[in-house]
Amino acid sequence: MSSNGGDAKKIFAYIWFDVEDYVTPESNDVPLKAVEVLKRYKVPVTMKLVAEKVRFMKEQKRKDVISAIKDYVDVGYHTDTHSRHPIVFQYIAKMDVMQGAKEIEKRERLGLRELKRTFGQPSCFGHAGSQWAPHYYPFLKKNGIRVYLDATEVVNIDDSPYWYCGVLSLNNTDKNFIKFDGTFKEPGGWEELKKNFESIHDRLKLEGGGAISILWHPHTGVNMEFWDALNFPRGKNTPKGRYVLPKQYPAEVKERAIQFFENLVKLGSEFDDVQFISGADALRVYPRKLEMVLDPEGVRKIADALSGSEISFFKLDGEYISPAQAFSALVNFVAGYAKNHKIPKRTALSEPLGPMSPFKSKISSGKLRVADVLLASQRVSRFLAKGYMPSSVKVGKSELEPSDFLATLADLSIELLSTKTPASSVSIRRAKMILSEKFVDEKAFATACEWIILPPGFKAPKILEQAKLQTWTLVPAVAR
């Protein structure tokens, strides 16, 4: 599946730096030199900064670096202290998305404040190391950050941008992803890097467009070792003042890093069909309506799209609709009918988060009284004001998981729109929400839990569970 859906032929490329090393003074020079390169070619860049790195640059009196970033760079947020324990996976391991978002807010507010005070509102966010989690997303939306820019294989739609929990996610990995780190160790590295970029470009051109993600940890332009693996490994903290400095490359490798970076920027600039974008540009390139008002015909189209045994995203008049949006639309439609037993002329569609816990339907009978379904829809409509879907819905003597309730509402909605007066009962229709099976990689999450910063044997099945539940909000991002 192409993320462009046939709607755009252009290839978008975004260069992003994770600026995070608050141990090595020499690492401050690399973003400054990179900005000089990017300005020459008029190519945008997004630099996600760790707040402690910002404090470190101030301690080192690097006003030149801070000014260069402030004047040219699209700035994103990359957590407060990155790898200092407890890290995010450790403190959200047993929390649902809403609980975790509150805890992230509590622990990240000072870092976010530091970044805003220095650079203004960040355009995007990305996790530290391997710590992608759905718990970040409500925190981001609350703080006006609508783009998640990083890399993860845990949730992935054909290695292309997607929307998840109401946030645009530029989380490319694998086939459309270039990691610049270390490509400059040997003089022959440029030819491999060039070949990689051209190969991705040529394939995406044949596919009708797409997005190339290019990552550089700038400290790798000077350091042979990762700063945090030396100072925060396996759950341990090295106190400030006793930080271990990474071994550094010889001068020729440091110079080659900047030269190869310029070569890559120049190469990308020479393609007429490649447009470099920043995190701030992404919402314009990949717009989406999270809320809309439907007429009865729009409701019918949604109900028709849910007529099978599998629930997934689908298109409504050219716009991708998530299962969570469909859920809100049909709940509000049936609740509106229940109010005065008339077909609503206007029905609100929004996108709540998915459920906070899994549930399997408990069915006492194959049929439900329509009166009970109407009452349940009114209750659920009010519940959605919390910002997330219920984990189960009680209807008479049965209790349904959201997918079964949605499928049953789809049948009832079609009957209401066709007859205006439904029968006294409706059959329960079983349906399976399939997005977690198709787009969540359990092995990738297990690998994420093996990050060298985490304690040995770390596991967090609750985070994986929550990632699956939030696929109710998952849709491809479409370039316009």
Q: Where are the beta strands (DSSP E) in 296-447?
A: 310-311, 314-316, 319-321, 347-349, 367-369, 393-395, 398-400, 425-427, 432-433
Cis check for the bond before 86: say yes or no (omega within 30 of 0): yes
Cβ neighbour number for residue 382 with a 10 Å cutoff: 11
Report the alpha-carbon distance of residue 243 to residue 16 in Å, rounded: 26
Mind listing the pLDDT tens digit for each residue in 67-104?
A: 999 999 999 999 999 999 999 999 999 999 999 999 99
Q: What is the pLDDT of residue 3?
A: 41
Per-residue pLDDT at 6 exceeds 70: no
Residue found by looking up tokens 């409504």 in the block: 316
Alpha-carbon distance 87 to 235, whole Å?
9
Identify the pLDDT of residue 291. 94
Looking only at Cα atoms, what is the longest distance across the chain? 81
CA distance 3 to 157: 8
Interval 367-394 mean pLDDT: 98
Assess whether pLDDT exceeds 70 at residue 2: no
Task: Determine the average pLDDT of the residues in 398-409.
Answer: 98
Q: Does residue 299 surpass a pLDDT of 80? A: yes
pTM: 0.96
pLDDT band at 5 (very low <50, low <70, confident <90, very high): very low
Q: Topology of 11-286+440-476 in CATH?
A: TIM Barrel (3.20.20)
pLDDT on residue 480: 86
Angle, CA 378 vertex, CA 372 and CA 383 arms, to 5°: 125
Of 82, 79, 80, 104, whose CA–CA distance to 91 is shortest? 104
Domain ranges of the chain: 11-286+440-476, 292-433
Per-residue tokens: 118: 């220095």
Residues 174-206 pLDDT 10s: 899 999 999 999 999 999 999 999 999 999 999
Per DSSP, 245 falls in state P
At residue 420, the pLDDT reads 81
pLDDT class of 4 with cuts at 50, 70, 90: very low
